Amino acid sequence: MKKSLIALAVMAAAGAASAQSSVTLFGIVDATISHYNAGGQHNTILTNSGYNSSRLGFRGTEDLGGGLAASFWLEAGLNNDNGSNGTTNTNNTLGGSTGGGGLTFGRRSTVSLSGGWGEVRLGRDYVPTFWNTTLFDPFGTNGVGTTIVQKAKTTTLATTLVPFATLAAPTQIAAQDPNAVRASNMIQYFLPANLGGIYGQASYAPSEVANGGRAGRFAGARLGYGAGPFNVAAAYGRTSGSGALLAGAAALQTMPDVSDWNIGGQWDFGMARLMAEYDRTKFSNGFGITPNSSLKGWLIGASVPVGPGEIRASYSREKQDVAAFSPRSSQWAVGYVHNLSKRTALYATYARLNNRGGADLAIDASLPQATAVNGGVNGNSSGLDLGIRHSF
């Protein structure tokens, strides 16, 4: 019943008595009391999505007969601590962010046609690599325990990593991946479900910034194998950047090419589920100028069911390679989720992040207070999430 409370079965227009269709209203409201400690300063706020991302969505499927189905999915992010909204991105570049002034279907906005041959899906959705990052993180890329692999990719490193920012102008690039989580305008193909455990997808989005331009073009793929307790998948994604990377300070706003590949997996031993991921993200200017920079990160994690609850733990590291510098960060996280029902859970997570070599990643980069919760260059920070997740 989870996430599908308003689901009305209606007869499909195509006709067969067994053909059924539905439209579902679904959502999650997750509120978090977060306490941060960084550089000796404390901060307590009410925020959201510490366990699962708050959302409101509408989705449905129509059985077209003969194994064919059409479906849609519109899902918006919610900041339920204050009633404001998540954003989207119209063209997959750093400058394409929009929405957030109201309910925005930036989490997913797709229409699909599927059959025995697989699924064609059109619109905004997760990119292939993000599936590995979030599925093989015991904290699911939510809250203070989010793998540092993800925290590094969604931070503008050129400004937060001091050594990077002090390089000579020609090599400065804004090292952030605009499509680290999702991309818009995608034409995707998914393998069907009956391939003996093999699953996969290919995803492509054209550049939509200007006629003939390349900025924001995205291409990626994912291939995996899951059977019984075992699951492993590898994924790749590449976003084309824009030109003009050379001209002084303003060039920091220009987007580099970003390529990302990762591999992750898990083994469910019953009494515990172990998981691991390795990720490499490379930022290059696409014009033969060196040095480029890259992020290399990995995570090991575990999830242990305990009665109606679950203990979660992870350790993750991230290192940046850029010229003679190598800023690096590490993080460990531990938490407990207590399920009051399938829909409602209470949770607590504690995480501690250490920076070395010039790094200054924050324990929660998504907050307006991020600069205040990173402990400074080579500083340490910690965070504690206490919250309630309610889904419908």
Question: How near is the Cβ of 290 to a copy of itself at its closest, in Å?
Answer: 33
CA distances from 270 to 126, 160, 165, 230, 266 (A): 29, 41, 47, 11, 12
Amino acid at 107: R
- Interface residue with a copy of itself, options 49, 114, 185, 382 (CB under 8 A): 185
Contact flag: residue 384 with a copy of itself (CB under 8 A):
no
- Interface residue with a copy of itself, options 49, 50, 51, 62 (CB under 8 A): 62
Contact flag: residue 10 with a copy of itself (CB under 8 A):
yes
- Interface residue with a copy of itself, options 49, 53, 85, 292 (CB under 8 A): 85
Distance CA 303, CA 63 (A): 37
- Interface residue with a copy of itself, options 106, 178, 297, 327 (CB under 8 A): 106
Which 238-297 residues touch a copy of itself, going by CB under 8 A? none
Distance CA 18, CA 24 (A): 19
CA distances from 15 to 7, 11, 24 (A): 20, 8, 21
Binding window for a copy of itself (CB under 8 A); candidates: 110-118, 240-248, 282-290, 309-317: 110-118
**Residue closer to a copy of itself (CB basis): 36 or 136:** 36
- Per-residue x/- track, 33-52, a copy of itself (CB under 8 A): x--x----xxxxxx------
**Residue closer to a copy of itself (CB basis): 34 or 262:** 34
Distance CA 376, CA 56 (A): 36
- Per-residue x/- track, 134-163, a copy of itself (CB under 8 A): ------------------------------
Contact flag: residue 356 with a copy of itself (CB under 8 A):
no
Question: How near is the Cβ of 198 to a copy of itself at its closest, in Å?
Answer: 27
Contact flag: residue 309 with a copy of itself (CB under 8 A):
no
Distance CA 74, CA 56 (A): 8
Which 336-355 residues touch a copy of itself, going by CB under 8 A? 340-344
Which 190-249 residues touch a copy of itself, going by CB under 8 A? 205-206, 208, 210-212
Amino acid at 293: S
Distance CA 364, CA 35 (A): 11
**Residue closer to a copy of itself (CB basis): 173 or 345:** 345
Tokens in use for 185?
């305008």
DSSP 157-200: HHHHSHHHHTS-GGG------TTSSEEEEEEEEE--S-STTEEE
- Interface residue with a copy of itself, options 20, 84, 166, 253 (CB under 8 A): 84
Distance CA 98, CA 238 (A): 22
Contact flag: residue 81 with a copy of itself (CB under 8 A):
yes
**Residue closer to a copy of itself (CB basis): 203 or 330:** 203
Contact flag: residue 177 with a copy of itself (CB under 8 A):
no
Distance CA 260, CA 363 (A): 22
Question: How near is the Cβ of 54 to a copy of itself at its closest, in Å?
Answer: 9
- Interface residue with a copy of itself, options 157, 373, 379, 383 (CB under 8 A): 373
Hey, how many other C-beta atoms are within 10 angstroms of the C-beta on 293?
24
Question: How near is the Cβ of 94 to a copy of itself at its closest, in Å?
Answer: 15
**Residue 355 CB partners (closer than 8 Å, separation 6+):** 327, 328, 329, 361, 374, 375, 377, 378, 379, 380
CA distances from 288 to 71, 81, 170 (A): 44, 46, 12
Question: How near is the Cβ of 85 to a copy of itself at its closest, in Å?
Answer: 6
Q: Angle CA(346)–CA(349)–CA(353) in degrees, nearest 5? A: 165
Helix (H, G, I), strand (E, B) or coil at 207: coil
Contact flag: residue 18 with a copy of itself (CB under 8 A):
no
Binding window for a copy of itself (CB under 8 A); candidates: 85-93, 192-200, 249-257, 266-274: 85-93
Contact flag: residue 361 with a copy of itself (CB under 8 A):
no
- Interface residue with a copy of itself, options 49, 53, 80, 129 (CB under 8 A): 80
